[in-house]
Amino acid sequence: MRMPLPSAAAAALAVATAALVVLPGAAFAAEAPAASSFTISDPRIKESSGLAASRIHPGVYWTHNDSDDGPYVYAVDSATGRTVARLTLTGIGKPRDVEAISLGPDGQLYVGDIGDNRNGTWDHVWIYRFPEPKQLADATVKATQFTVRYADGPRNAEALMVHPVTGRVYIASKDESKGGVYEGPAELSADGSNVFRRVADAPWVTDGAFSPDGNRLTLRGYFTARTYPWKDGRPEGEGERVDAPWQGQAESVTYTPDGSTLMFGAEGEGSRVIAVPASQASPGAPASPKPGSPSGAAPSPEPTGGFGKGAVVLAVGLAVVFVAKRLLRRRG
């Protein structure tokens, strides 16, 4: 049965629309296996701002709220999305703006109270450190508090990364054009200040994580993520783009313990933590943008921001237009 001309045009439009809407979603589903992704179900976790994969509790991820929650760290079971432990930290002052968490090779969790709601005016921030509990249950734990200052003055930051081999702590500041990666001293001291010194540029970073072998550093922003080779204590080159999911208030990233998968998290009640294979980077991606969201960049309309999916969508759309034109010619 030959389709009437208006119906043929409508069908072509429908196919084009389906290509634009369904295709990215399908590709996204392939990148985020349902068995690995999970939803945080605890209503107390409304501003998950950091993620760290447990090494002694398989499938468990440590997280925390942003500001206005208290000295709490939560353990979430990725199999169910439920909180299996809430730790209350003692031995520290009142947290101001907790933004990141990382697990060191010493088996201790490092919590970064490094945000600055005053846009880089606090003359110091803090890091809290405590051993990862061997048992998962609500508990009170004593933490050590470290004072942090930057060699080039105060700044806002949301990413804290502990190198899994050397144990050295790094912070990435959050600034649209002047952000950078800062290296802490070889060992943190609870006495006096720990001065962090800039070792690389990295604009607009909301979180970062080292691969378990310490050879790569992934930095994410609201719209993009890039993975860099780690060499001589700093990220090298322009990195490779990672197909990070679109998550709105994108705030966190961590590697799974085996290094095969990146877990991307976001703020919001009932937020989704999305798994993306760590090998899915785009080596042919242009050098710009760098980590995070560059100046003047617009958010990608595709869920994962991948150039490859956009090209496929464009190709399908062009093919549909071509078929429609052929139909029009035949009707003529």
Would you state the pLDDT for residue 9? 37
Phi-psi domain of 60 (left: phi exceeds 0; alpha: psi -120 through 50; beta: other): beta
pLDDT category at 119 given cuts 50, 70, 90 is: confident
pLDDT at 290: 41
Q: How many CB atoms lie within 10 A of CB 244?
A: 27
Report the pLDDT value the prediction gives residue 175, as an integer from 0 to 100.
87
**Half-sphere CA count of 229, side-chain side, radius 13 A:** 6
Cα separation, 275 vs 304, whole angstroms: 12
Share of the chain above pLDDT 90, in %: 66
pTM passes above 0.85: no
Of the candidates 235, 229, 254, which has an alpha carbon nearest to the alpha carbon of residue 244? Answer: 254
Per-residue pLDDT averaged across 159-182, rounded? 95
Sign of torsion over alpha carbons 63, 67, 68, 72: positive
Contact 295, 176 (CB under 8 A): yes
Residue with tokens 């110091």: 124
CA separation, residue 57 to residues 11, 66, 204 (Å): 52, 24, 32
User: Given this model, what pLDDT does residue 37 score?
Assistant: 95
d(CA 170, CA 37): 27
- The CA distance from 177 to 219, in Å, is 15
Query: Residue 85 has what pLDDT?
Result: 98
Half-sphere exposure of 173 (CA within 13 A, CB side): 29
- Please measure the distance between the N-terminal and C-terminal CA atoms of the chain and give it in whole angstroms: 18
Stretch 202-228: mean pLDDT: 95
Report the run of H or E that residue 29 belongs to, with start and end. helix 5-31
pLDDT band at residue 280 under the 50/70/90 scheme: low
More confidently predicted of 289 and 105: 105
Its sign, for the CA torsion 231, 236, 240, 244, is positive
**Average predicted confidence (pLDDT) for the chain:** 79
The closest of 274, 292, 251, 249 to 115, measured between CA atoms, is 251
- pLDDT given at position 34: 37
Rounded Cα–Cα distance for residues 298 and 201 (Å): 21
Alpha-carbon span 313 to 167, nearest angstrom: 44
> Averaging pLDDT over each range in 216-220, 248-252, 276-280, 309-313, which range is the top one?
216-220
pLDDT exceeds 90 at position 299: no
**Residue 118 pLDDT class (50, 70, 90 cuts):** confident
Identify the pLDDT of residue 120.
73
> Quick one: three-class SS letters along 216-227?
EEEEECCCCEEE
Task: Provide the phi-psi class of 119: left if phi over 0, else alpha when psi is between -120 and 50, else beta.
Answer: left
Whether residue 257 has a cis bond before it, omega within 30° of 0: no
More confident position, 31 or 88? 88
**Residue 144 amino acid letter:** T
Range of weakest confidence among 46-50, 116-120, 245-249, 251-255? 116-120
pLDDT interval class at 7 (50, 70, 90): very low
pLDDT(317) > 90:
no
- Work out the average pLDDT over 314-325: 35
| Average pLDDT of the segment spanning 86-99 | 96
**pLDDT digits over 72-85, tens only?**
999 999 999 999 99
